[in-house]
Structure 1
Amino acid sequence: MATSNQRTDITPPEACGTSLQNDVHNQTIALKTTQKDSHASVLTKDVLEPRIGMEFDDDEKAYQFYNGYARQVGFSVRKQNMSRAKNGIIRARRFVCSKEGYYKLDPSDKTSTCSRSDVRTGCHAHIGIKRLKNGRYCIHRFVPEHNHPLVSSRKVHLLRSQREYPNARKPSSEDVFSACTSSSCTSHFQGLRQFEMQQGDAVGMVHYLQKRAAKELGFSFSMQLDAKDQITNLFWCDARSRIDYYYFGDVVCFDNTYKVNGYDRPFVSFLGTNHHKQLVIFGSGFLYNDSVESFNWLFQTFKDSMSGNAPHLILTDEDENIVKGVEEIWPDTVHRYCPWHLYQRTVKNLCNVFQAYPGFDIELKKCFFECETENEFLVTWQKLVSNYGLVDDTWLKGLYENRRNWCLVYRHDLFHADLHNTLKNERMHALIKSGLHHERDIFSFFKRYERILKDKRYSEIEADYGAAHLANPMPLSRLLKQAALAYTRPVYEMVAKEFELYVDCVIDNCGADGTGYVYEVTNVEKKITGYVRYEPCTDALSCSCKN
């Protein structure tokens, strides 16, 4: 991406201390605490391995024993072949690792284009049991070695055989949250439920956040208080948020579209998208007002929390004070308006049009999200405002004048991480808003916010498990086959979609042009033509769609 901004290494959250900064009457008070991980030494239980000669009352008891062993080690068990006597009694059988063997394509199925051979790895781990004369069953064969990575304890419940494990339960989001962050983390809001804000919002909030910072390694927050002991600005993030930002912080969406009813403070959050195209939260806060000073303070605090690393691209609402804040704190970051936020504001400003004309929303979304060229956007926009008598609408005229700052057709050279589509498909906005009812105070909001955060992180754990144990469709194309092995399912689907567009393209050599060569590329189905220039001296490619 064309930017001079370079990301530097972020200090691992596990090594970070916690900090509190309060700006009281323009006087900054810094409180720093360091904490050693009390769980640095992980306690392990002795795993009872199968042994040759172990006896069981029946074959089901043997299966339950082996499945319990598998749960401790980290794999799934599959019941395989068995041998029966003439009277139907089981004489012998095997219980194998679920990755035993390989999938085979049906040679008679000529339409099959996918293979699941990479789901199973040919693992030989298993136990064999046989029936004794006394009617019991004993282990006569045991192979412990696996040829694939085993599953960690926090994901083992996702394995197929462990879902039906007698003593197993699906962990709650609190369990998973404790597992997916620092090992010293505790359930934050158990303490919150026990502590009531009897000393006022500001003092109560400080006490609660200090308690959380003391218990949770890597958690930090900063706040400003006014002369009346009221919180004016507040920002917080935890260790997991820093880890997420380290990996996915190239593109950030700053969301300030919420407002806490009754407190007149806007709730803000810094959002991104992960490798599963799921929304991740890098940090959140409350601002007393929408002044330049408030945004400057928030952006600087967020920047400091992320070890000074700036995003390559930041998407925000259309706001003059936000623009000034981004220019001040992140001068080298590309700043664009978020098309999803502008679409939501358009719905609010033109609610009467939406109600009167059901087809208006479809045409508006095409302008915002579906146009691929500038000419297509201009034609679609003019048709929209003409058909619905909105040529002189003030809001739409403003959007059109600023189209180069938000419309996707104007900066194809930027990496957006498809974040606007992730925002469209998320339900977090509705869940957050339901926690901002005017009858609920900020404490109630925090409870809901933390629940949402924990649930989202649990969803990522589930998606990670699926990516590791459920293969992408294996296409015939060698190029797509490589992509299927390298990417998660959502990202692979993006690549496959682009590949389909590539197949529909016709390439014509236009000949030499100076030091390079020019090629005309036409998408036959969409009737879109572009020009690609190749410079052999520098081995560089440039496309007209990115100019």
Structure 2
Amino acid sequence: MNQDNQFEEVEDKRSAEEEWESKLGMVFDSLDNLLQYYRSYGNRMKFEVIIRSLRKGDDGEMTNATLACSCTGKLSSNTRNAFKLYPVTKTVCKARVGAYILGNEKWQICSVGLNHNHELSSPTKTRYFRSNRGIQPYMKRRLEVNDRAGIRPNKYFNSMLVEAGGLENLTFLQKDYRNYIEKVMRMRLGARDTYAIQKYFLKMQKDNANFFYMMDLDEEGRLQNVIWVDARNRAAFKEFGDVVTFDTTYLTNKYDMPFAAFVGVDHHGHSTLLGCGLISHEDTETFVWLFESWLACMWNCAPNAIITDQDKVMQNAIEIVFPGTRHRWCLWHIMKKLPEKLRGYSE
């Protein structure tokens, strides 16, 4: 690259920064619109955007949000082997924007940080950012039809490459294709199964009005998450809901969907069930839906403490839904990981 091209690239970068900096105080119709706008800026500047934090008010509605460079945060390596090298992805980068919600449900930018403390990605790598990769709804339908027809993913993906004119013209990778098909297979509850679940829940609710359930459907109208809490569980929570354990280590046989259980301890020291559910996948969005549904069932009374295994997405969801609840890790999981994490110090 000659000096003229380098100068033009620096000028383009500077103008992009100045264009964004002039947007301080800009108002957006929704948080999604703000996120899309900042991601577009990140694509121009060659860095990936993530949602750093979300805060809720006393009414449970979102009030503040921070969007940041994906290199924000500290690199945590104290539990790893010090003699092995790992790629550094966190550099405590301060590039971010802060926004708050206005009275008319619009979002306004209140703070902007432009400086990165790391090298930015090359233009050819921005398409691999997770935030830029996605499968459009019409393409999802095509993928599912071909999967039901028995067409192998690698064969159909190659045909899509030819049709699109190259990998650079696709918005997703073959890995995303396979992950989506695997997710659909886990979620593929037949019509009879969904009908049977709903029929059973309606019967339980007819027998006891305190029976609670909620079903979450995807954009195609298929059941993907479900939670249910019977009258005995709700009564037990009033007496023994100070400390709750939450676990998703159980799997069903047929659909391989994680079974989520809320459990408390009664005055005899015995475990008592406080609600349970089936979820399609374990990510922050799903856990937020599950926790919010369970909290609504329990009269919006959050427990004083919740115990889980060491899971980052679960921790994120707890911070969003239970901001005032103490979060602790399960001692069994800690003791189980001790030999693995400290095996280098066995002597």
Which bracket does the TM-score occupy, shorter chain normalised? Answer: 0.3 to 0.5
- Which one has more relative contact order, counting CA pairs under 8 Å at least 6 apart? 1
- Give the TM-score normalised by the residue count of structure 1: 0.28
- Give the TM-score normalised by the residue count of structure 2: 0.43
